[in-house]
Amino acid sequence: MKNNGIKFGKYFKEYRLSNVLAMIKNNSKSPLICLDDCKGKLVVITGATSGIGYATAKKFASKGADLICINRNKERSEALKHEIERAYKVNCEYILADFSSLDDTHKAAHDLLEIEKPIDIIIHNAGIYLTKRQITSNGIEKVFMVNYLSSFIMNDILKDKLKSQGKCRIILVNSEGHRFAAWGMRFDDLDWSKRRYSGLKSYGTAKLAELLAMIKFDEYFRGSGVTINAMHPGAVKTATGKDNGPLYKWFKKNLLDKTLNPVSVAAEAIYYLGVSENLETVSGEFFNLTTLEEPAPPALDVENARVLWEISLKMGNLDGKCGTKKI
């Protein structure tokens, strides 16, 4: 029987109330703080002109790191570059890329591939939330492309470079929202053409995919000095969802945002995960801010991780060997 990703019976048996209670408890915790600096390190951050990415860029720059920020908007990227360099006296370069585009994603990854200096930390932060289904010019559901496939492509293209360095920390800004894909992924309907589109479920599917791919990347990097971990950035106020309709915008501005923490909370957690010596060899894990946590059962499914890997290589136009684009 073909595996379509949904395993209700399997996952139902694996769900534990204790894990749900732990998640609720962890949501109220503050992140651990790392006081070490990272002077001279090179940090790559996607989606750095606003929200979590912006706060994270300033945090790492304040501790002496040089930055390469990958953003969509040139004017905002220029403004960020000047602000960072003026305030913190570090280098802040940028690469322009729209992560809803396969070509842009490939180009950004290959630009990083050509950098001679080792990349110390990669923070995959770029993401969107949509309430209505959108399909990219490449025929891929947009939330899946931006929130998952773009980071997969970049990691695949860079994986041999990073492995040859003998060190690097990859941080996936993930979400407890992966739990919205409670019974797994529909491998036969990743573009949502066969089902009614749900903003929460499409977002959850993309975040679940990121956790499943992490299993395979962790296997590849094991013993190399390269680590890959995912984290929930906490309930923080960001610009996510700004492209949605007026009803969602009103709800977010007048209700949701009033209950959220500042993005500096997430930035502190990301800095800890990227710099703390306590996590030097920790890999393949999911954190709620800086608290180690077990993700939902579908995120631990090794069989589905293998299936998704092959699908992602095909969707991402990758050959799966050395991170090169198929011609």
Residue 138 is part of a domain; what is its CATH number? 3.40.50.720
Q: Which residues contact 234 (CB under 8 A, 6 or more apart)?
A: 27, 31, 261, 265, 266, 269, 288, 289
Q: Is position 1 within any domain?
A: no
H-run or E-run covering 229: strand 226-232
Q: Is position 114 within any domain?
A: yes
Q: Is the Cβ–Cβ distance between 212 and 301 less than 8 Å?
A: yes
Q: Is position 8 within any domain?
A: no
| Residue whose token pair is 């710099």 | 275
What pLDDT is stored for residue 246 in this prediction? 53
For residues 195-223, give the mean pLDDT.
97
Indicate if the pLDDT at residue 6 is higher than 60. yes
Q: Is position 11 within any domain?
A: no
Closest alpha carbon to 179 in 43, 297, 4, 24: 297
Q: How many structural domains does the chain have?
A: 1
What pLDDT is stored for residue 258 in this prediction? 42
pLDDT tens for 38-66 read 999 999 999 999 999 999 999 999 999 99
- Residue 190 pairs with which residues in a beta bridge? none
User: Which of residues 322 and 221 earns the better pLDDT score?
Assistant: 221
Indicate if the pLDDT at residue 100 is higher than 70. yes
Q: Is the Cβ–Cβ distance between 211 and 310 less than 8 Å?
A: no
Range from 229-238, 247-256, 290-299 carrying the lowest mean pLDDT: 247-256
* Cα 144 to Cα 161: distance, rounded to the nearest angstrom: 25
Q: Is position 327 within any domain?
A: no
Catalytic residue among 54, 88, 94, 203: 203
Q: Is position 82 within any domain?
A: yes
| pLDDT band for position 260 (cuts 50, 70, 90) | low
Q: Is position 200 within any domain?
A: yes
Q: Is position 321 within any domain?
A: no
Query: Percent of the chain having pLDDT more than 70?
Result: 89
Residue 107 tokens read as 């180009």
Indicate if the pLDDT at residue 292 is higher than 90. yes
Average pLDDT, the chain: 91
Q: Is the Cβ–Cβ distance between 174 and 104 less than 8 Å?
A: no
Query: Which structural domain range is residue 161 located in?
Result: 17-316
What pLDDT is stored for residue 261 in this prediction? 74
pTM of the complete model: 0.91
| pLDDT band for position 327 (cuts 50, 70, 90) | very low
Q: Is 129 a catalytic residue?
A: no
pLDDT tens for 87-98 read 999 999 999 999
